[in-house]
Amino acid sequence: MPFIRVETNMKVEASEADAFVLKLSKFLSVALGKPEIYVTVMLHQNVSMSLSGSNDPAVFASLGSISLQPEKCMELSKSVCEFLTAEFSISGSRVFIEFRDLERSMFGWNGRTF
């Protein structure tokens, strides 16, 4: 159900990228209170990106989940931003996060929808 796509203009070594997605998967499972079996994490690194008119290191994350409550997004923004700034050693002002609530019938897994 939950997925997060993290895009950054930073280059990440393959072993570090693999460790990052596994760590973020566990973190997101706990933060959202969802079983990790349903969590998907994607890292797109070394992409061309401008944020606030600058090519300085930056991250854009898109987080979607079924039953994502808007009132929880402020707390999620804080915790996900703290996670990403620590992992990438960048300022929180260089991180944007998009949140999306997904309809069960519009999200498929294992040959069915939720």
Residues involved in catalysis: 2
Whether 69 and 102 have beta carbons less than 8 Å apart is answered as no
Sequence letter at residue 38: Y
- Pairing type for strands 3-8 and 40-44 reads parallel
108 strand-pairing partners: 113
